[in-house]
Amino acid sequence: MNDLSVMKKAIEQRSLIDALLNEGSYADLVLRGGNVVNTITREIYAADVAIKKPYILLVGNAHSLVGPDTVVVDVDGRYLSPGFIDSHMHFESSMLTITEFSRLSIPSGTTALIADPHEIGNALGPAGMMAMADEAGCVPNYVRLVVPALTPDCPALETAGVNVSSKDMRNLLNYPNIIGIGEFQGFSNVRCVYRNTPRIVTDLVVSAVYARSLNLVVDGNAPSLFGAELAAHIIAAGGRTSCHETTTKAECVEKLRQGVYVFIREGSTQKNMAECIRAVTEDGIDSRCCVLVTDDMTAAELKSLGHMNEIVRRAIRRGVDPVEAIQMVTINPASYFGLSDRGAIAPGMAADIAVIADLADMRVEAVFIGGEMVAREGKLLLDLPLYTYPDSVKHSVQRAAVDEKELALYRSGASSTARCIVIIPDQNLTEAREVLLHTSGGVVQADVQNDILHLACVERYGKNGNVGRCFVSGIGLKHGAIAESVAHDAHNIIAAGTNLSDMAAAVNQVIKLGGGLAVIRDGKTLGDLALPVGGLITDRLNGAEVSDRIELLERIIREQLGGKLHAPFMHLSFLSLSTSPKWKLTDKGLIDVDTFEILDPVLPESP
């Protein structure tokens, strides 16, 4: 905090004291007669909340703070909660700018977002992350970024647009609106990374130590880690960290016991709450280090279901006490991130408040940010103009069109045994199996009848022209192909299809768009969406328009391509996530995540 900021803060605090003690000074706003959800003591009681913008003045009887110009809002019978915090999310997964994500999430009570720009970091490096940090300063809600210390996560196994390492941390971690290092995904597979790429471990530790020297957070990423591996991950991150990749009760209990903040994930396609919350509801584990997060949420679900209020609602339905569930999206994350002015309704705190009509249903009736009513009955009351990104973070697709021959796998003989990624719905994990496929003209064919489709990952940054190829089961297409430039985490172009011709057309349509989504059948484009910002985000449409377009594309996939998987683009996007077991496909080929090996997608022919 510089001298000017210190002086400003001192003046603000003195004005609050004057409003409380000086006769003739009053609150700007009083919320009268509500039931305060006290996240500090885990109780609910009747109290007024007096506000002098943008801070809370007093919680209790505020009669003496009502002056001639004080606005009094009757909230009798309603519940007053601190505004909700989503502590781990990616704007890029929603394909929305920060502004448009905020437009959809604020009316449901979310007043703070901590985002990891891991995706734009892989595509554009520091320039992309700084551009996103700039937008974070232009919205009314509290938005901060935690940036990746390494891109790509597995340099030997994939190609990113820009390689980020400890050399970039000084500039990034001292940039406005950046408060730490995001998920330590480069050290998720602890033993393999330690054994095969020890310099990455050293580089990550250097980044973490530097972040800690600035009193910044370092988020973890520790899927299925126990014992020495979990301890090594915690120490690499600086001794106090988080994990949003916890999928079982036993794993959740172990991490909580080791001091890890468990970010319990419940997004659009990655749903771990039902299992992880059992650590609290069944084993009675203290929940102060439990935090509810979305990680990845589609625009359509934001629009139709809500945001953190929906996640809290699900926790309550799983048996969590309503106040305890609210703590998991307020004071718990505020404690982890060191947000001393957020997470509770108390004097001196930011006046970010959700007015809730019914705790069990988590219906948010109104939202205040800094003491201003910004949403009511699900409608945003602010005029948020579209945010346009600079041209410097566009045009990230730098490759020529592909030919279907580049997407084919070749073998002689009448049939071949191929390796096939098997999608697990609502998880970013996959299964793996071998399948017998017909070969025609030397090309291994898909088996559409049995839901075995072609899968390809096409390098898009103009670096090497790589194309990874294998097969996938679980998407269920009967016709055509789909492709997108959102493909975690290096974000090359990933495509799945019933035939190679339509796959090539889908990839080429994404290239033509400069990044985006495409749905193809019989060589014709049935629908698409351009994502010009890093090939990940659109700044041309508002949140509702993006939601509508995605819903249209998904309906086309269901009705005209025969797809059976909900949120098909988001599921497809995780099939290249090289740190998440079991098999994934990158531009360098089929990856065995557990062993760090590149596998032959078709088994060698028997001699």
Domain assignments of the chain as residue spans, ordered by start: 83-341, 394-599
pLDDT in tens, 538-578: 999 999 999 999 999 999 999 999 999 999 999 999 999 99
What angle is formed at CA 146 by the lines to CA 144 and CA 147, rounded to 5 degrees?
130
- Given a cut of 80, whether residue 507 has pLDDT beyond it is yes
Q: What is the pLDDT of residue 278?
A: 98
pLDDT in tens, 117-176: 999 999 999 999 999 999 999 999 999 999 999 999 999 999 999 999 999 999 999 999
Q: What is the pLDDT of residue 61?
A: 97
Class of domain 83-341: alpha beta
Say which range, 93-97, 213-217, 410-414, has the weakest mean pLDDT.
410-414
216-241 burial string, b = 16+ CB within 10 Å, else e? Answer: bbbbbbbbbbeeebbebbbebbbeeb
Q: Percentages helix, strand, coil for the chain, rounded to the nearest 5?
A: 30, 30, 40
The pTM of this model reads 0.94
- Given a cut of 60, whether residue 607 has pLDDT beyond it is no
Which phi-psi region, left, alpha or beta, contains residue 552 (left: φ > 0; alpha: ψ -120 to 50)? Answer: alpha
Contacts of residue 401, defined as CB under 8 A and 6 or more positions apart, other chains included, come to 504, 507, 508, 511
Per-residue tokens: 166: 């400890």
Mean of the pLDDT values across residues 85-106?
97
pLDDT in tens, 441-493: 999 999 999 999 999 999 999 999 999 999 999 999 999 999 999 999 999 99
Q: What is the pLDDT of residue 605?
A: 74
- Given a cut of 60, whether residue 349 has pLDDT beyond it is yes
307-344 burial string, b = 16+ CB within 10 Å, else e? Answer: bbbbbbbbbbebebebbbbbbbbbbbbbbbbebebbbb
pLDDT in tens, 316-340: 999 999 999 999 999 999 999 999 9
Distance CA 586, CA 335 (A): 37
Average pLDDT, the chain: 96
Per-residue tokens: 507: 């990839």
Q: What is the pLDDT of residue 428?
A: 84
For residues 587 and 601, the answer to whether their CB atoms sit within 8 Å is no
Per-residue tokens: 394: 């566009």
> In this structure, how many other beta carbons lie within 10 angstroms of the beta carbon of residue 261?
26
Per-residue tokens: 516: 């985006």
